[in-house]
Amino acid sequence: MSKHYLELSGVDMRFSTDKGEFEALKNINLRLKKGEFVSLIGHSGCGKSTVLNLVAGLYTASTGGVILEGREVDGPGPERAVVFQNHALLPWLTVEQNIALAVDNTFTRHGKAERRERVAHFLALVHMNHAAHKLPGEISGGMKQRVGIARALAVDPKVLLMDEPFGALDALTRAHLQDSLMEIQAELGNTVIMITHDVDEAVLLSDRIVMMTNGPSATIGEILDIPLQRPRNRVLLSDDTHYHQLRRRVLSFLYEGHNKVSQLGGKANVA
Amino acid sequence: MMNIIPLSRLSGLASPRRLSRALIPMLGITGFLLIWHLLAAQVTTSLGTLPGPVQTGQQLVNLVQEHQAERSRERAFYDRQIARNLTIKAENPDAQVRIRAFTGRPTFFDQILTSLKTVAAGFLLAMVIAIPAGIALGLNKNLYQAMNPVVQLLKPVSPLAWLPLVTIVVSALYVTPEPLVSKSFLISLVTVTLCSLWPTLINTAVGVAGMDKDLVNVSKMLRLRGLTHVRQIVLPSAIPMIFTGLRLSLGVAWMVLIAAEMLAQNPGLGKFVWDEFQNGSSDSMARIMVAVVVIGLIGYLLDRLMLALQQQLSWDKTGNHR
């Protein structure tokens, strides 16, 4: 495996607004190994989502670029699947049809039976077979996000991009989904970039946490390795001193080094 | 997000509420009939006093009887022909016989049927034009901005302004020795289409332009291109708005139709009203009144039909269900 699977080098991102140019990101450099789980954390408006959209190919960097497996990213595609914050399931399709839409349009050269099987496999992976024929409007928020994850995984992405996937869920559902995600990650070994606001979530799930400074002109402030052994157990970790030290490092970056309140002068509207 | 209402709650509260739901509209209708009855008697015209609900009801009965009489005349006409042809055949087996079509006057109910056919044809044509055009406008911001002034300009044009132009153009272009449909039908149809396509066009365009950006991103991520994108993402997204547009369009189509038929002399309800107006007999006003009520009723039923269709076909069950 190549050492740098995914690479963001010298990325600046500027948006033109009515009040002139707005520099959201300045000189972002980040390298991911294959199978690595990286969290992006930072205050609202620091450009975390912009980073994710750049990797997704939904935005194009003003300067610099994104390279995945030696090829420059030049547009959105299924090899960089996104799990959206509000799930973004098509409300007129059933759970199964939503995943099938993704599979059918990605695995066009595979037979119909093979594609059906793939849909069923990923439904089972997120424990949603029981609701295969329900519409998104008929299932809970947590279930919807499970389906969103299944849809993204079912297209066999090289990188899985998660935009605050559990942000809209209650704490218990969130914990369930985090555990599910860790199991899936142990099984599939995907390369993941996840945006989060939640320090515990970042420490629990990640191999590395990328901490971003506040915008405008946000950049990477610090990268923290999380060398905690896997599989990780949230209950056992709650007594682990190393876990608490890591957690403290992130908290101190967010609330001492780069406190939002001290920088409220900046009009940071780009989330 | 859960939009499933427990059945028990629906049926439990229903009985008293359903009763009052049926009762209050009945009160409204009764009140309306009473006021109509009282006020109509105050208006004296050259053809007598304005007909109240009673005279109108009597004329409805008359119209039904005329329809039945006309139908039995038609049956008798054909029976006579068949009988005559049989006797001719009996005398000379090689004789050429033919059945002549009945050319009686169209009754009120024939005219309702013609109107319904015309409005259906005009509305379908409007739908076939407006939905694809609306999708194109909704998808392309530049096209939308270019077309918006034109649409806004043409939208409020009255059918009465279109009609002379449509008549001239149709008369010039539709010249065939054996016409499939009558010219007046075509003129009414085109006028209905011209006036009724705008609400569907605008609502479709707005529905498409206002699609959930995340769903557009899903489509981009899956690399859905062209028609697949339209079929899988754009059209279903816009379906609730398209139906809102279609309901408005059908309402406009029905309203325009009556005016168009009146002037184009298409044998429909509009022509019925016009003929009665020209006729000017003592019954005319009551007969027009019957037409007014029937036109209103059909307009209402068409709207309900569209709503039922929307509830069947649209995935969005929380839509506009008034």
Residue B317 confidence (pLDDT): 67
Alpha-carbon gap, residue A41 to A209, rounded angstroms = 7
In degrees to the nearest 10, what's the CA dihedral of A138, A146, A86, B315?
Answer: -30
Tell me, yes or no, whether B88 and B208 share the same domain.
no
Q: Using only the alpha carbons of chain A, give its radius of gyration.
A: 19
Tell me, yes or no, whether B164 and B194 share the same domain.
yes
In a domain, B135, yes or no: yes
In a domain, B16, yes or no: no
B288-308 in b/e burial notation, b at 16+ Cβ within 10 A?
A: bbbbeebbeebbeebbeebbe
Give a three-class secondary structure readout of chain B.
CCCCCCHHHHHHHHHHHHHHHHHHHHHHHHHHHHHHHHHHCCCEECCEECCCHHHHHHHHHHHHHHHHHHHHHHHHHHHHHHHHHHHHHHHCCCCCCCCCCCCCCCCHHHHHHHHHHHHHHHHHHHHHHHHHHHHHHHHCHHHHHHHHHHHHHHCCCCHHHHHHHHHHHHHHHCCCCCCCCCHHHHHHHHHHHHHHHHHHHHHHHHHHHCCCHHHHHHHHHCCCCHHHHHHHHHHHHHHHHHHHHHHHHHHHHHHHHHHHHHHHCCCCHHHHHHHHHHHCCCCHHHHHHHHHHHHHHHHHHHHHHHHHHHHHHCCCCCCCCC
**CB within 8 Å: A155 and B222:** yes
Alpha-carbon gap, residue A238 to B263, rounded angstroms = 84
**CB within 8 Å: A90 and B3:** no
**Angle at the Cα of B54 from the Cα atoms of B48 and B59, rounded to 5 degrees:** 75
In a domain, B13, yes or no: no
Tell me, yes or no, whether B84 and B227 share the same domain.
no
Chain B residue closest in CA terms to A86: B214
How many angstroms separate the first and last alpha carbons of chain A? Answer: 33
pLDDT greater than 60 at residue B5: no
A206 interfacial to chain B (CB closer than 8 Å): no
In a domain, B292, yes or no: yes
From the CB of residue B312, how many other CB atoms can be counted at a distance below 10 Å? 7
Alpha-carbon gap, residue A53 to A47, rounded angstroms = 10
Alpha-carbon gap, residue B68 to B110, rounded angstroms = 11
- Where does a domain end: B87, B105, B123? B105
Residue A264 confidence (pLDDT): 46
Distances (CA, A) of B2 to A127, A139, B320: 20, 7, 18
- Give the ipTM of the model, two decimals please: 0.89
Chain A residue closest in CA terms to B220: A76
A35 interfacial to chain B (CB closer than 8 Å): no
Q: Chain B, 205-264: which have a CB under 8 Å from a chain A CB?
A: 212, 214-215, 217-218, 220-224, 228, 232-233, 236, 239
Option in B214, B222, B315 nearest A106 (CB): B222
Band of residue B85 on the pLDDT scale cut at 50, 70, 90: confident
Enumerate the residues of chain A whose CB falls inside 8 A of the CB of residue B315.
91-92, 135
pLDDT greater than 80 at residue A215: no
Residue indicated by tokens 């497996």: A69
Alpha-carbon gap, residue A135 to B314, rounded angstroms = 13
Tell me, yes or no, whether B273 and B192 share the same domain.
yes
Residue B15 confidence (pLDDT): 64
Residue A175 confidence (pLDDT): 93
Band of residue A262 on the pLDDT scale cut at 50, 70, 90: very low
Tell me, yes or no, whether B207 and B77 share the same domain.
no
Enumerate the residues of chain A whose CB falls inside 8 A of the CB of residue B217.
56, 58, 76, 82, 84, 88
Q: Provide the sign of the torsion angle of the four alpha carbons B68, B70, B76, B78, taken in this order.
A: negative
Q: How many domains does chain B have?
A: 2
From the CB of residue B50, how many other CB atoms can be counted at a distance below 10 Å? 17
**CB within 8 Å: A88 and B222:** no
pLDDT by residue (tens digit) across B167-223?
Answer: 999 989 988 888 788 888 999 999 999 999 999 999 999 999 999 999 999 999 999
Tell me, yes or no, whether B118 and B91 share the same domain.
no
Segment A180-205 shows an average pLDDT of: 94
**CB within 8 Å: A105 and B315:** no
Tell me if B236 sits within 8 A of B255, measured CB to CB.
Answer: no
**CB within 8 Å: A155 and B315:** no
Tell me, yes or no, whether B194 and B154 share the same domain.
yes
B78, burial (CB in 10 Å: exposed 0-12, middle 13-18, buried 19+) = middle
**CB within 8 Å: B217 and A101:** no
Q: Using only the alpha carbons of chain B, give its radius of gyration.
A: 26
From the CB of residue A144, how many other CB atoms can be counted at a distance below 10 Å? 24
Band of residue B99 on the pLDDT scale cut at 50, 70, 90: confident
Q: What is the pTM of this model?
A: 0.84
Residue B283 confidence (pLDDT): 87
In a domain, B83, yes or no: yes
Tell me, yes or no, whether B179 and B76 share the same domain.
no
Tell me the two tokens of residue B171: 């008369």
pLDDT greater than 60 at residue A163: yes
In a domain, B45, yes or no: no
B322's CB contacts (< 8 A; 6+ apart) are none
In a domain, B63, yes or no: yes
B313's CB contacts (< 8 A; 6+ apart) are B239, B243
Chain B residue closest in CA terms to A59: B217
**CB within 8 Å: A90 and B316:** no
Residue B22 confidence (pLDDT): 84
Helix or strand run (H / E) with residue A225 = strand A220-225
Option in A77, A78, A137 nearest B1 (CB): A137
CATH number of the domain that B192 lies in? 1.10.3720.10
pLDDT by residue (tens digit) across A59-101?
Answer: 999 999 999 999 999 999 999 999 999 999 999 999 999 999 9
Tell me, yes or no, whether B64 and B161 share the same domain.
no
Average pLDDT, rounded, for chain A: 90
Tell me, yes or no, whether B73 and B149 share the same domain.
no
**CB within 8 Å: A90 and B214:** no
Average pLDDT, rounded, for chain B: 89
- Where does a domain end: B71, B86, B105? B105
Tell me if B282 sits within 8 A of B213, measured CB to CB.
Answer: no
pLDDT greater than 60 at residue A265: no
Tell me, yes or no, whether B142 and B63 share the same domain.
no
Band of residue B318 on the pLDDT scale cut at 50, 70, 90: low
Segment B265-293 shows an average pLDDT of: 90
pLDDT greater than 90 at residue B103: no
Alpha-carbon gap, residue B216 to A147, rounded angstroms = 18
Q: Provide the sign of the torsion angle of the four alpha carbons A237, A238, A239, A245, taken in this order.
A: positive
**CB within 8 Å: A88 and B223:** no
Residue A138 C-alpha, separation from nearest chain B C-alpha, in angstroms: 6
Give me the residues paired with residue A17 across strands.
A20
Residue B208 C-alpha, separation from nearest chain A C-alpha, in angstroms: 15
Residue B14 confidence (pLDDT): 52
pLDDT greater than 90 at residue A224: yes
Q: B179 or A110, which is more confident?
A: A110
Distances (CA, A) of B144 to A47, A111, B148, B200, B201: 32, 41, 6, 15, 11
pLDDT greater than 50 at residue A267: no
Tell me, yes or no, whether B126 and B268 share the same domain.
yes
Domain that holds residue B96: 52-105
In a domain, B19, yes or no: no
- Where does a domain end: B105, B121, B146? B105
